[in-house]
Amino acid sequence: MIVVALPEILADLGASISWGSWIIVSYLVAMAAVQPLGGSLGDRYGRRLMVTIGLLVFLLASVAAAVAPNVEVLIGARTSQAIAGAIALPNGSALVRTLVPRELHGRMFGLIGVGIGAAAAFGPPLGGLVADAYGWRWIFAANFAVILPALVLVLNLPRSARQLDAGRFDLLGAGLLLTALVSLAMAATVWRVPGVPALAAYACGATGIVTGTWFWRHVRRVAAPILDLALFTRPGYLPAGLTVMFSNMTMYAIFLALPLFGARLLGWQPREVGLLLAGMSVPMMLMGPLAGSLADRRGPRLPALLGCAVTMAGVTALAFVDIDWSRRDFLLPLIAVGTGLGISSAPVYAAALQAARNEEAGRAGGLFSTLRYLGSIVCSAAIAAILGATASVAQFRLLFSLLIVAAAAALLAAGLLPGRLLPASGRGEPASPVDAGSDRKADAART
C-alpha cells in the first residue's frame, strides 16, 4: 500500500527522494535480518506469545507512522513495523507446522499463499484509493482493521509449549547473527541510496563477512545456539530455501520493474500498472490451494518443478519486451509468472517446515523467510544497478534476461526437493521431557 503513496509522503514531509529509498530499504533489511531471531524466540518462549507481541508492536508502530511529524520518525516507525512483523511471521508459520496434521500442510500453506497473493493484488490499488480519499496517514491507520481481528484469533489458539530444557539464551549468537544479516543486507542496498558514499557499502560488506564468519564458528561450539545451521543439512530444507529465494527474486523484480517501464517509457498511470500487475497476483492467489493439495497427495517436488517451469516461460517472454507492446502483450506473460509462482510456493513452504522438528519450527520458518527476503534485496539492488537514472528498452530486456537465470536456478533447486512429504505423525507441540517420560511409562504399562 505504501509504495503508491510514496510521492505524496515525501512531498507532505518535505523530504527528498533519497529518503524514499530509506523508507523501503529499512523495512526490507529489518525483515530479512530479524526473522531467524524471531523464530528462535518463539521456539524458546512460546510461538503464540511471540505472534501476540509482534502484532501488538506492529499496531503501536503503525500509530507512530500515522502521526509521524517528519521522515526520520516515519523511517523509525517503519523499521519497528518490520521488526514486529519479523517476530510474528515465522512463528505464525511454525504454529501451522505444529498444530495442523502433516497430511494437510500443503493445503494450509496454499491458503497462506492466497493471503499473500491477495495482498499483492489488492494492496497497491487499495493504497491508492485510501491515499486519494483520506491522505497517506490513513494507510497506516488502516492496519487496525487487520491487526485487531488477528489478535482476537491468535488469543484463541492453544498455548504453545516452551523449551524447558533450552539452556541459557545465546545472546552473543543473536548479536552476531543480527549484525551479520543487517550488514550484508545494507551492503546490497545502501549503495543505491542517493547521498550515501560508495565506501559505506564496502564497509557493510566487510562487517557482514567478519561477523558472519564469527557466528559460523560460534554456533559450532555452543550447545544451544540461536540458530542451528544443521537445518541446511536436513533433506529438502536447503533446496526449498534456494527455490523461494530465486522465485522471490523473480517476482519482486517484476513488481518493481514493470511500474518503472510503464511510467518512464509508456506514460502509464499508477492505476493502470496496478491493474496490470493484478494479472500476476490473482493467479498466485487462485493456484495456491490447488498446488498445496497436489503436494499433500504427490509430494512437493512435482508441483514445485511445474510451477518453476511455468514461471520461467513467462519470464522468458518478458525478456522480449518492446515499447510497442500492448497491455495484452504484457498480460499473458504476467499470468504465466503468477500461475507458476502460485503452483510452486505452497509445496516449497511445506517442504521447508516439514524438514524441521517441531521444537525448531520457528527457527526454520524464520531462516526460510530470511532467504525469501534476501531474494528481494538482491533483485532491488540489481534493478538499481541495471536501470540507473534513465532506463531504456535494452536495459529492461537485460534485466528480464537475468531473471531467466534466476528462474532457471529456482527450477534446478526445486528438482532437489523430496518426492514425498514426511509421513503424518500427529498434531501439536513436542512433549516436554517430563511429559515424554510419563508417556513412556504409560506405554510400558499398557504393553
pTM of the model: 0.78
Q: How many domains does the chain have?
A: 2
Same-domain check for residues 218 and 235? no
Same-domain check for residues 59 and 191? no
Report helix, strand or coil for 88: helix
Same-domain check for residues 55 and 202? no
Asked if residues 36 and 370 have their Cβ atoms less than 8 Å apart, the reply is: yes
Q: Using one digit for the tens of pLDDT, what is the confidence trace for 255-286?
A: 878 877 887 788 877 667 777 888 888 888 88
Q: What is the DSSP letter of 104?
A: G
> Could you write out the DSSP letters of every residue in 350-363?
HHHHHTS-GGGHHH
Is 70 exceeded by the pLDDT of residue 86?
yes
Residue 323 is assigned to a structural domain of this protein: yes
Q: Which CATH number do you get for residue 353?
A: 1.20.1250.20
Rounded to whole angstroms, how far apart are CA atoms 204 and 11? Answer: 30
pLDDT, residue 37, reads 86
Q: Chain centroid to CA 114: how far?
A: 14
Same-domain check for residues 89 and 216? no
Residue 270 is assigned to a structural domain of this protein: yes
Same-domain check for residues 242 and 207? no
Q: Using one digit for the tens of pLDDT, what is the confidence trace for 318-333?
A: 999 998 888 889 999 9
Task: Out of 42-51, 56-65, 190-199, give the one with best mean pLDDT.
Answer: 56-65
Same-domain check for residues 329 and 339? yes
Same-domain check for residues 31 and 74? yes
Q: Using one digit for the tens of pLDDT, what is the confidence trace for 188-247?
A: 777 766 677 878 888 988 998 999 899 889 888 887 787 778 888 888 999 999 999 999
Rounded to whole angstroms, how far apart are CA atoms 366 and 41? Answer: 10
Same-domain check for residues 217 and 235? no
> Could you write out the DSSP letters of every residue in 155-215?
HTSPPPPP-TT--S--HHHHHHHHHHHHHHHHHHHGGGSTT--HHHHHHHHHHHHHHHHHH
Top pLDDT among 73 and 268 is at 73
Q: What is the DSSP letter of 143?
A: T
Least confident residue range of 8-12, 58-62, 173-177, 422-426: 422-426
Same-domain check for residues 214 and 289? no
Domain holding 366, by residue range, is 2-156+226-422
Rounded to whole angstroms, how far apart are CA atoms 330 and 333? Answer: 6
Same-domain check for residues 27 and 102? yes
